[in-house]
């Protein structure tokens, strides 16, 4: 059976980035068929190779984040190393970078230089604060973007300090905006006859763009959204409740018809027929009362009993999944969200499946994150370097 061509097949991406935001953006492109050449320092490569849990000396996060990519080692402090990058840029459709603004310019790899050599180039630049403005030159990680962009202020409980989410979500959100921007720039170039351009993504702006009605509510009403734990004032009921067996279940019944079904499942016909609870505004005005009732109802049953009752009533509800729950869940398995691959030594390992699902040209995983410099010789050979020249570059410390 012939596999369908992936939608980004034919695009060449040069990744000049480390850790999370830039590499995650390039990973998405690689999953959907782009040829991604990742430039790494010969001195250890991307620090992500040593982050979190290591298997046989290499991070499992790296094996995921660098899947489908080619690793080429280049010393950006060596003139011949920079010459290699310039040659790769001439052939690239997209450059992804997440250095602090000004770093590439000092290396002679700034936008003006690269665009002059490749006018059709699309350059994705991810940074803490963007390429312009008074903070542009400051270092900024995802944690700073989450803080400045508003996410951390509203995350947690009102009587406690702000908290972070359990993942580097600021970097990941920025990466997604970056991919969206790249695809829009490619559309403009290919359909509208435009030229290449810079896609400038600031981490704090990527987070800020997700903050719903935060800005107009403050501007019109002077309202500052505060931390509210697991509930969202104005959207009731939607909360997390604890079962009799100590498990945690999220129940989302903020739709009018859904709320009525919840009450009937709870045996509260009286409240289901109460006209003051027929819409969200009425329910929100009595949210403390409603949450106490749902807490008591959920707390009197096991997790299995609660989920079975609410599923029969067609009320959205879920346990709070750990990764162990995911591995046993038929929905994850049916959707191919736990894909089995082989690590370098042949060990079977599950990785997250590819998102989104395309019906005609799906993405996929071809190989896990490569060894440092695994593709250096092949890529340089394709650029026209022969074996003697490659050996000379290696001896000189350029690769």
Q: Which residues are catalytic?
A: 171
Strand partners, 71: 38
**Encoding tokens for residue 398?**
């350029």
Cβ atoms of residues 197 and 265 within 8 Å: no
Residue (of 71, 67, 73) closest to 28 by Cα position: 67
Angstrom CA distances, 126 to 33, 138, 277, 362, stand at: 22, 13, 46, 26
380 CB-near residues (< 8 Å, 6+ apart): 72, 84, 389, 390, 393, 399
Buried b (16+ CB within 10 A) or exposed e, 241-259: bebeeebebebbbbeeebb
Q: Where does residue 129 rank: exposed (0-12), middle (13-18), buried (19+ CB within 10 A)?
A: buried
**Encoding tokens for residue 371?**
């060894």
**Encoding tokens for residue 274?**
């109460």
Q: Could you count the other beta carbons within 10 Å of the beta carbon of residue 73?
A: 21
- Sign for the CA dihedral angle at 205, 208, 212, 215 comes to negative
Query: How far is Cα 13 from Cα 95, in angstroms, rounded to an integer?
Result: 6
Query: How far is Cα 399 from Cα 49, in angstroms, rounded to an integer?
Result: 18
Helices (H), 268-322: 269-272, 280-285, 287-299, 303-312
């Amino acid at each position: 059976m012939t596999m369908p061509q992936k939608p980004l097949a034919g695009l060449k991406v040069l990744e000049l980035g480390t850790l999370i935001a830039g590499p995650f953006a390039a990973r998405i492109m690689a999953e959907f068929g782009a040829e991604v050449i990742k430039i790494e320092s010969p001195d250890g490569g991307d620090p992500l190779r040593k982050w979190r849990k290591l298997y046989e000396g290499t991070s499992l996060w790296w094996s995921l984040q660098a899947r489908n990519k080619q690793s080429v080692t280049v010393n950006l402090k060596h003139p011949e190393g920079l010459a290699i990058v310039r040659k790769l840029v001439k052939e690239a459709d997209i450059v992804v970078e997440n250095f602090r603004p000004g770093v590439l310019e000092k290396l002679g790899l700034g936008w003006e230089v690269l665009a002059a050599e490749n006018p059709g180039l699309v350059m994705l630049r991810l940074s803490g604060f963007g390429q312009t403005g008074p903070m542009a030159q400051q270092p900024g990680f995802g944690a700073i973007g989450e803080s400045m962009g508003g996410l951390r202020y509203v995350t947690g409980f009102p009587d406690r300090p702000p908290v972070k989410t359990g993942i580097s979500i600021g970097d990941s959100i920025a990466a997604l905006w970056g991919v969206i921007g790249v695809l829009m720039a490619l559309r403009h170039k290919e359909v509208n006859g435009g030229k290449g351009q810079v896609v400038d993504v600031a981490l704090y702006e990527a987070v800020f763009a997700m903050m719903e009605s935060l800005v107009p509510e403050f501007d019109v009403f002077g309202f500052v959204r505060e931390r509210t734990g697991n509930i969202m004032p104005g959207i009731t009921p939607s909360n997390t409740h604890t079962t009799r067996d100590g498990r945690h279940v999220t129940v989302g019944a903020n739709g009018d018809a859904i709320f009525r079904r919840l009450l009937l499942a709870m045996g509260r016909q009286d409240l289901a027929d109460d006209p003051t609870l027929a819409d969200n505004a009425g329910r929100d005005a009595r949210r403390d009362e409603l949450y106490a009732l749902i807490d008591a109802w959920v707390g009197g049953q096991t997790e299995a009993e609660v989920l079975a009752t609410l599923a029969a009533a067609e009320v959205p509800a879920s346990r709070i999944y750990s990764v162990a729950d995911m591995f046993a869940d038929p929905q994850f398995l049916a959707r191919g969200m736990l894909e089995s691959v082989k690590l370098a030594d042949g060990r079977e390992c599950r990785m997250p499946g590819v998102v989104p699902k395309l019906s005609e040209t799906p993405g996929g995983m071809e190989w896990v994150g490569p060894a440092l410099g695994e593709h250096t010789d092949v890529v340089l050979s394709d650029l026209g370097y022969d074996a003697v020249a490659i050996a000379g570059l290696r001896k000189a410390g350029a690769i």
